Structure 1
Amino acid sequence: MALTREAASTPRVGGPSRRPHGKRPPRRTADARAGYAFLAPWLLGFIALTAGPMVASAYLSFTDYHPVRGGDWIGWDNYQRLFDDPRFLDSVEVTLLYAVVGTPIKLAAALGVAMLLNNRRGGQGTYRSAFYAPSLIGASVSIAIVWRAMFNDDGIVDEAGQLFGMSEGGWIGNPDLSLPMMILLAVWQFGAPMVIFLAGLKQIPNELYEAADVDGAGAWRKFTKITLPMLSPVLFFNLVLETIHSFQVFASAFIISGGRGGPANSTLFYTLYLYQRGFGQGQLGYAAAMAWLLVIVVGIITLIFFRTSRYWVFYSGEGR
Structure 2
Amino acid sequence: MARAVGRRRPSGAPGHRRQGRAAYVFLSPWLLGLALVTAVPLGASLYLAFTDYNILSTPRFTGFANFERMLGDDRFWAAASVTARYVFISVPLQLAFALLLAVVLDRGLRGLAFYRGAFYLPSLLGASVAVAILWREAFGHNGLVNSVLGWVGIEGQSWLQNPATALSTLIVLNVWTFGSPMVIFLAGLRQVPEELYEAARVDGASWYRRFRHITVPMLTPIIFFNLILQTIGAFQTFTQAHIISGGTGGPVDSTLFYTLYVYQQGFKSFDMGYASALAWVLLLVIGGVTALHFFLSKYWVFYGDD
Same fold judged by TM-score > 0.5? yes
Cα-Cα RMSD: 1.7
Q: Does 1:262 align with 2:246?
A: no
State the distance in 1 between where 2:248 and 2:7 align: 75
Q: What is the CA-CA distance between 1:70 and the residue it aligns to?
A: 2.6
In structure 2, relative to structure 1, the CA distance for the partners of 1:146 and 1:25 (3 Å cut) is same
Summarize the alignment of residues 27-38 of structure 1 with structure 2, pairs less than 5 Å apart. 27-38=15-26
CA contact (8 A) 1:158 1:171 kept: no
- Please give the per-residue CA displacement for 1:12-62, whole angstroms capped at 9, x wherever unaligned: x7697898xxx9211111111111111112111110110000000000000
The residue type paired with residue 102 of structure 2 is A
| Structure 2 residue 253 is the aligned partner of structure 1 residue 241 | no
Q: How far, CA to CA, are the matches of 1:125 and 1:35 in structure 2?
A: 39
Please list every run of 5 or more consecutive structure 2 residues that lacks an aligned counterpart in the other structure. none
Instruction: Letter of the 2:236 partner, please give it.
Output: Q
Among residues 49, 55, 58, which one is paired with 1:70 in the alignment? 58
2:168 matched to 1:152?
no
Please state how far the C-alpha of 1:121 moved relative to its aligned partner. Answer: 2.5
Residue of structure 1 equivalent to 2:289:
301
Closer, same or farther in 2 for the Cα pair 1:164/1:176, shift >3 Å? farther
Q: For 2:9 and 2:195, how far apart are their aligned partners in 1?
A: 60
Structure 2 match to 1:6: none
Q: Percent identity?
A: 49
Cα deviation for residue 164 of structure 1 reads 4.2
1:123 maps to 2:111: yes
Distance in 2, Cα, partners of 1:188 & 1:295: 26
TM, length-normalised to structure 2? 0.95
TM-score by length of 1: 0.91
Task: Name the structure 2 match of 1:230.
Answer: 218
> Which residue, out of 260, 263, 274, partners 2:262?
274
Aligned position for 1:313: 301
CA offset digits 1:174-222 (Å, max 9, x no partner): 1011011000000011000000000000000111011001111111111
Structure with bigger gyration radius: 1
Contact 1:155–1:170, Cα closer than 8 Å, also in 2: no
Aligned-partner Cα distance in 1 for 2:283–2:8:
54
Spell out the pairing of 1:4-15 with structure 2 (5 A cutoff). none
Tell me, in whole angstroms, the C-alpha distance in 1 between the residues paired with 2:154 and 2:276: 43
> Relative to structure 2, which stretch is displaced further, 34-43 or 289-298?
34-43
Q: 1: CA distance between counterparts of 2:258 and 2:105?
A: 35
1:90-144 CA distances to partner (integer Å, 9 max, x unpaired)?
Answer: 0000000001110100000000000000011312122112211111212111111
- Residue 35 of structure 2 corresponds to residue 47 of structure 1: yes
Look up the SS of the partner of 2:60 in the other structure: coil
